[in-house]
Structure 1
Amino acid sequence: MSALQIQTMTPAQVEWAIEQAAREGWNPGLGDARCFYQADPEGFLLGLLNGRPVGCISAVAYPEDFGFIGLYIVAPEYRGQGHGLALWQAAMARLQGRNVGLDGVPAQQDNYRKSGFRPATRNIRYRYLSPGEQPSPPGFIPLEDVEAATLAAYDRQVFPAPRPGFLNAWSRCSGHRGLARQVQGRLQAYGLIRPCREGWKIGPLFADTRELAEQLHTALVAPLPAGSPVFLDVPENNPAALALARSRAMTPCFETARMYTGPVPPLAVEKQFGITTFELG
């Protein structure tokens, strides 16, 4: 049997990885590949047999000694042959010395524990159908109008490391719609909605208060046609976020556990109403 060769992905190969995620039912965003790549162009690994891609994993290295594992997929016909383990070992070697996070599905959480990961909280994916076009609450501006330093400073309260390259790509990607509330230069909330293989995903949804999060959520979905599927990934350790999801009659449809190899990063959990992505944190 040929040995698996592991190499860094090109942007086109990240598109291949996103296609595998779609086949797994993960419902990726239409612009995810080009945005994810900006987080760390060296952080996406591809496994090949005789030049044919058979598996992938992302091992994104963020500043301040943080890393994140995602997009861990082996094509079904190549599973059970050790290729997944080889990809996993390469990813963890790349992030050696960092506090590494991931969002683990329930079936794999015991395996992640064996690799030194410990659960911090559940992230619950909620789904509902948009009510139809409605007036948008006033006071929100396009996310791309927020100064990069202001956005980065707010985001750093709710994410374990700086991610300016990703934020720039995420807020400006074609099809993405980001909004923010800023008062006298101070950012109070920001969020983004993006088109996916099915419907739309909101992520992130960050706000100083539940009231602001509610208004931002309404503004993000306001232009959608009635009956559009909308998904929001809610951290269970923020009760106000769970209350928001339930107040909109959202239905849980999927869950992960946010896990880390090191200490749980000190984040403003009360401002997290929806995480950005399961793939990058």
Structure 2
Amino acid sequence: MACLPRGLTRLLAGKNIARLTRRCLSSTNYEGFKVRQLHGKESASLANSQTAEGSRLTNEDLKVFHSVDPNGFFVALDNAGDIVGTIGAVRWTEKLGFIGFCHAGEEAKDRGVEEALWLAAMEHLGDRNIGIEVDASEAEKCGQLGFQEEWRSGCYKGVGVSLLPEAQSTKIVRRITDMPFSKVAYFDEDLFDFQRMKFLYRWANIEPPAGHAYALSEDEKVMGYGVLRQLNLSKKYRIAPLYCQHTAVAQVLLLALLNNIPEQTVYIDSPFSNPSFTRILTTDLKMEQIGERVRMYTKGDPGMPLQKMFGTMGSDLGS
């Protein structure tokens, strides 16, 4: 999640985010700490930013996230060489970027670590349309800094369900590992209008016990896919993402995923823009809403396929 630095308002001094993104850093060394790019072997430190319930990824998953844009992750180090802060700034395209994985220890916050990390992130993203996702309580403050609210999502918690044998058998739902992966990649690219096959292959090409991934096809054409991955806690999972052409497809894939983890805890972030799917989560599956998040951008909605995003990747990558 993109936490908002307490000192960012002071740092801006009357400017907004759009102006700050054009400011170049004259130095990456500060009093008592320095900022540099995060090395791949340090990706586990990104977990410190994931304090919300149901957000704690495994170290392997954090490595996959880091691989999206290895040059866009930064750490702050104190004089002893210990990591005291992190941030991720992913360049999805030449026009679109996203900030997440923001964290700084309490003592580090008072030394300007958060502000320095944000400067590094925004310099990396340049003049792109920058997205963040924050708790609902932070949305107003982010709006004052130049971010525009585009939509809200609920964070839901529930348990897996067991399907009757006759409901489990279907020729149109297949494990992604049992089909040409290019079909899933084409579906994803058509949704977002940019290609991210390397990341998607590492994320969705998964098998038990690490997780489960299914796609639903009609006439050999993928109509949706969903991924269930284990969190960094025993018997806890997250569905991320769940992208489908319509609600009926999303419901079928959701149940197929949940069937693998009966009575085990599962989380999903789902935009409020799909009320029929929200009712499936809260009424049919008795899931509890445990939070609310707000997606914001500096230049407005980049054209995300919101009506087809039934479960998002979470608050750190922006999809």
TM-score for the superposition, normalised by structure 1 = 0.91
Task: Select the residue among 85, 102, 111 that pairs with 1:72.
Answer: 102
2:77 aligns to what?
48
Could you tell me which amino acid in structure 2 is paired with residue 185 of structure 1?
E
2:133 aligns to what?
103
C-alpha distance in 1 between matches for 2:148 and 2:169: 40
**Structure 1 residue 179: Cα displacement:** 0.5
Q: Which moved more, 1:129-138 or 1:54-63?
A: 129-138
C-alpha distance in 1 between matches for 2:96 and 2:314: 16
8 Å Cα contact 2:37-2:74 kept in structure 1: yes
2:38 aligns to what?
9
* Superposed structure 1 runs of 4+ greater than 6 Å apart: none
SS in structure 1 at match of 2:315? coil
Matched length: 279
TM-score for the superposition, normalised by structure 2 = 0.80
C-alpha distance in 2 between matches for 1:263 and 1:81: 32
C-alpha distance in 1 between matches for 2:257 and 2:193: 25
1:235 aligns to what?
271
Q: Does 1:57 align with 2:94?
A: no
Q: Does 1:180 align with 2:210?
A: no
Q: Which consecutive unaligned segments of at least 5 residues does structure 1 have?
A: none
8 Å Cα contact 1:69-1:279 kept in structure 2: yes
2:250 aligns to what?
213
C-alpha distance in 1 between matches for 2:269 and 2:96: 21
Instruction: Within 5 Å, give how 1:12-51 maps onto structure 2.
Output: 12-18=41-47, 20-22=48-50, 25=53, 27-30=55-58, 31-50=60-79, 51=81
8 Å Cα contact 1:200-1:231 kept in structure 2: yes
CA RMSD of aligned residues (A): 2.1
Percent identity of equivalent pairs = 26
SS in structure 1 at match of 2:114? helix
C-alpha distance in 2 between matches for 1:133 and 1:243: 19
Over 3 Å counting, the alpha-carbon distance change for 1:62 and 1:217 in structure 2 is same
**Structure 1 residue 77: Cα displacement:** 3.1
Q: Does 1:222 align with 2:250?
A: no
**Structure 1 residue 49: Cα displacement:** 1.2
C-alpha distance in 1 between matches for 2:144 and 2:178: 44
Over 3 Å counting, the alpha-carbon distance change for 1:91 and 1:98 in structure 2 is same
C-alpha distance in 1 between matches for 2:280 and 2:220: 27
Deviations 1:189-226 (A, max 9, x none): 10000001341100111112212111101110112132
C-alpha distance in 2 between matches for 1:25 and 1:269: 24
Q: Which consecutive unaligned segments of at least 5 residues does structure 2 have?
A: 1-29
1:169 aligns to what?
202
Q: Which moved more, 1:252-261 or 1:236-245?
A: 236-245
8 Å Cα contact 2:134-2:294 kept in structure 1: yes
Q: Which moved more, 1:53-62 or 1:8-17?
A: 8-17
